[in-house]
Structure 1
Amino acid sequence: MNDQALQSTDLQADIGRLLERIQTLGQVGALEGGGVCRLALTDQDRDGRNLVLGWMRELGLATRVDQIGNVVGIRQGAEDGAPVMIGSHIDSVATGGLYDGTLGVLAGLEAVHTLNDAGITTRCPVAVGFFTNEEGARFAPDMMGSAVHQGSLPLVDALETVGTDGQSVGSELDRIGYSGDVPVNDLVPRAYLELHIEQGPVLEESGTTIGAVTGVQGISWTEFQFSGISNHAGTTPMRLRHDAGYVAAAVAVEARAIATRLGGHQVATVGVTELSPNLVNVIANQARVTVDLRNTSDSELVLAEARMADFVANTAASEGVELQQRTLARFSPVEFDPQIVGLIEAAAGRYGCSCQRLPSGAGHDAQM
């Protein structure tokens, strides 16, 4: 930055202007009663993209769209080179909130707007961007755009991904006009910052204003399917049952027990439970459950995965139930740059905000 920027202590973002942009974008895909639905690459996502892209251009940013539809606007600095990038995503789940992802993108635009108003030229370029399909609600996996950007997911695999409605990522990018020609690995930021709302109760419980995120927990998603035998609930003795529903219920209980025994940052969730034929007086012959395991330590996460796998296999075998399983997602823990974490703490202190270091339990583009 120039000397003026280095010594500026009174530079303030316009919170009203930021909130106005958030509310305006929140009208795109707005749901009755509050919230938004902007599933990735739908018409609503396209309209949201058009709005944000327009704001980027109004602020004088040089915009670019890459081959997976990631959008970046760049403000030139005094020197050429890699930009400092601020960003997140603007797609949502089916019942999303106004701030999830959106805050990180629009806060970046507000930072640019504030710099423009103050006439400050930063030493490095500043980029603001949003990544395609962070949520993964329509197309799996989540964090798709950032994964392709960072090279952990091949572009061709992402483009060929078929969504819940039978459409492919590539065809939908073409349809909404966001199949760009910029290579996905063309932009390598000097640093990346993602402002996000807390997606949990930790800061609220402690009365802390700012969380300086030290990293993102490792994530392991596994689907288990059990096949047993349907029989009458009243006439089948317990010793003769092959109950898929029982095994599914046991998995849910054991997932909680594993997390409790390991302690620390280990968490476990059974988010999906489906039984068939799903009748009150019939033993279930089919069951499907998903297990979500997370930990800041990869070795502890591996241990939780092993304990879960052993329990599932042994319980299914003892009940005489057939087992099938598949991995839905697996991300190792990521540690963030300590210098940037320290800068966040220092900035919070300068503005009189309480601050706490903590890991993020939710996945974000920043972990890519």
Structure 2
Amino acid sequence: MTNALEIDGRRLWDTLMVSATIGAGMKGGLCRLALTDQDKTMRDLFVRWCREAGCSVEIDKVGNIFARRIGLDPALKPVLIGSHLDTQIAGGRFDGILGVLAGLEVVRTLNDKGVQTRRSIEVVCWTNEEGVRFQPPMMGAGAFAGVHDVDWVLAQPDDAGTLLGAELARIGYRGEQDRDRTDIDCYFELHIEQGPVLEEEGVDVGIVTGGFTSFGAEIHFTGENAHCGPTPMKARKDPLVAAAILIAKANEIGWGYEPNGRATCARIEVSPNRYGIIADSADVIVDVRHPDAGTAAEMYREVLDTIAIATKQARVVGAVVKEWSFGNIAFDAGLINLIRTVSADLGVSHKHMLSAAGHDAYHVSKVAPAAMIFTPCRNGITHNEAEHIELEYTVPGVNVLLNAVVRRANT
């Protein structure tokens, strides 16, 4: 490919390794939850790096960070590159982080080579993608795209009751203005695959055509405290029993829709959660996914139908207190074709694939053309401190991102 651009792979890796020291986990990964002190430290460093690369930086009301490298025609809508810097509680060093720092590397490479683009390029860090501390996930991108009301997002509490807006203000990342969601030419997101396919097949790049449809809900069961010893079985109102019935049924539903269906109860909170006493409340978070939107909806209905069965058997009250969905999207055909063409021009092996995980690009795709690039990760391990990538099989995908962004930014 004539005039192909190449990133500085060693610089990208060194940048990733600096990130890996901020909120380091006990087993070599990261614990950098959204809006914690560790997240602030990483955000501060990212902003510093962007400014050193000549970018201007803006922060919107929900803490999304936009770092702009100005183009030759500032009136044109910019090309965005982004992902997230927050992690799971026992997360890896690359999930989301690679996408943000690859965007920074695109800017640094263009600076090194003196390349100017017609359109401005913006590197974006979205707030609270993981949804660990505040639910639902992809919250910052959702607020940006109008999926979530900004005031609602700011009012969401963590487990301690601390509001997201208060934490944004505490760490200095509560902006004053909304970013204009109509002022975008397109959005690119590079991400590790979070699956084993690319590595197993020896393919460098996954061109993501869309995502699994996903439904999530928080379900609250309310019962009554009682002594575990003298209280007869027929007199009990045990919400933990209802939760257990729901959890078991969700797992059964997932197996019933193999190989493409997934159903998970990833979290349960029980009160008072002490020996010798029957619980008075239990909260369960359920997640169902399938590549077919209708099938995913059918799975979700089966989960919700289980609530009535569970409450009757346990003699408690049950209610859905929060719901969310994402993933029923197809990425932009023009950007998919661009990524495929650039991959072929660079001699980078590639394949089309769906994503079973949620990503910020899902929400952004509702307001602008969007596309995703996957790069391999070892054994598909993710949301785990053992998550790992190799530089040699990551650089080709970042080079595809770089050249695709430049082509688009020169239109």
Q: TM-score, normalised by structure 1?
A: 0.85
Counterpart among 309, 314, 329 of residue 309 in structure 2: 314
Greater alpha carbon shift after TM alignment, 105-114 vs 195-204: 195-204
Question: How far off is 1:185 after superposition?
Answer: 2.8
Whether the aligned pair in 1 keeps the contact of 2:239 and 2:314 (CA below 8 Å) is: no
1:290 matched to 2:285: yes
Question: How far off is 1:290 after superposition?
Answer: 3.0
Distance 1:233 1:361, change over 3 A: farther
Greater alpha carbon shift after TM alignment, 303-312 vs 221-230: 221-230
**Distance of 1:40 and 1:277 partners within structure 2:** 27
Question: How far off is 1:159 after superposition?
Answer: 2.0
Whether the aligned pair in 1 keeps the contact of 2:212 and 2:290 (CA below 8 Å) is: yes
**Distance of 1:175 and 1:280 partners within structure 2:** 37
Distance 1:23 1:247, change over 3 A: same
Instruction: Name the structure 1 match of 2:145.
Output: 150
Distance 1:63 1:257, change over 3 A: same
1:182 is paired with a residue whose SS is coil
Whether the aligned pair in 1 keeps the contact of 2:242 and 2:314 (CA below 8 Å) is: no
1:47 matched to 2:53: no
1:28 matched to 2:12: no
Instruction: Give the 5 Å matches for 1:112-131.
Output: 112-131=107-126
Instruction: Name the structure 1 match of 2:320.
Output: 326
Instruction: Name the structure 2 match of 1:219.
Output: 214
Question: How far off is 1:19 after superposition?
Answer: 0.6
Q: For each residue in 1:71-116, what CA deviation from the matched residue of structure 2 results, as whole angstroms up to 9, or x when unmatched?
A: 1111122323111100111122222221111111110111111112
Question: How far off is 1:236 after superposition?
Answer: 7.2
Aligned residues: 360
2:50 is paired with a residue whose SS is helix
**Distance of 2:223 and 2:352 partners within structure 1:** 45
**Distance of 1:114 and 1:60 partners within structure 2:** 12
Instruction: Give the 5 Å matches for 1:85-104.
Output: 85-104=80-99
Distance 1:202 1:289, change over 3 A: farther
Q: For each residue in 1:256-313, what CA deviation from the matched residue of structure 2 results, as whole angstroms up to 9, or x when unmatched?
A: 3333434463211122346678799998886553321112333222211222222342
Whether the aligned pair in 2 keeps the contact of 1:150 and 1:185 (CA below 8 Å) is: no
Distance 1:160 1:184, change over 3 A: farther
Distance 1:104 1:236, change over 3 A: same
Question: How far off is 1:24 after superposition?
Answer: 1.1
Instruction: Name the structure 1 match of 2:358.
Output: 363
Instruction: Name the structure 2 match of 1:3.
Output: none
Question: How far off is 1:120 after superposition?
Answer: 1.5
**Distance of 1:107 and 1:295 partners within structure 2:** 29
Greater alpha carbon shift after TM alignment, 332-341 vs 319-328: 319-328
Amino acid at match of 2:66: V
1:135 is paired with a residue whose SS is coil
**Distance of 1:205 and 1:240 partners within structure 2:** 55
Instruction: Give the 5 Å matches for 1:1-368.
Output: 7-9=2-4, 11-79=5-73, 80-185=75-180, 188-224=183-219, 225=221, 227=223, 247-263=242-258, 265-273=260-268, 288-317=283-312, 319=313, 321-332=315-326, 333-368=328-363
Distance 1:268 1:343, change over 3 A: same
Question: How far off is 1:176 after superposition?
Answer: 1.8
Question: How far off is 1:148 after superposition?
Answer: 1.5
Q: For each residue in 1:122-148, what CA deviation from the matched residue of structure 2 results, as whole angstroms up to 9, or x when unmatched?
A: 122111111122222222222221111
Whether the aligned pair in 2 keeps the contact of 1:151 and 1:185 (CA below 8 Å) is: no
Q: Relative contact order, CA 8 A, sep 6+: which one is greater?
A: 2
Amino acid at match of 2:78: P
**Distance of 2:16 and 2:64 partners within structure 1:** 20
Identity between Structure 1 and Structure 2 (%)? 36
**Distance of 1:113 and 1:262 partners within structure 2:** 46
Q: Structure 2 unaligned runs (5+)?
A: 364-411
1:196 is paired with a residue whose SS is strand
Whether the aligned pair in 2 keeps the contact of 1:212 and 1:341 (CA below 8 Å) is: yes
Amino acid at match of 1:59: A
1:165 is paired with a residue whose SS is coil
Q: Structure 1 unaligned runs (5+)?
A: 1-5
1:142 is paired with a residue whose SS is coil
Q: TM-score, normalised by structure 2?
A: 0.77
**Distance of 2:297 and 2:336 partners within structure 1:** 27
Q: For each residue in 1:314-368, what CA deviation from the matched residue of structure 2 results, as whole angstroms up to 9, or x when unmatched?
A: 3543x35324021533224122112222333333334444323222122111111
**Distance of 2:170 and 2:278 partners within structure 1:** 47
Instruction: Name the structure 1 match of 2:399.
Output: none
Greater alpha carbon shift after TM alignment, 33-42 vs 224-233: 224-233
Whether the aligned pair in 2 keeps the contact of 1:222 and 1:325 (CA below 8 Å) is: no
Distance 1:236 1:349, change over 3 A: farther
Whether the aligned pair in 2 keeps the contact of 1:68 and 1:184 (CA below 8 Å) is: no
Whether the aligned pair in 2 keeps the contact of 1:244 and 1:287 (CA below 8 Å) is: yes
Amino acid at match of 2:12: L
Distance 1:339 1:247, change over 3 A: same
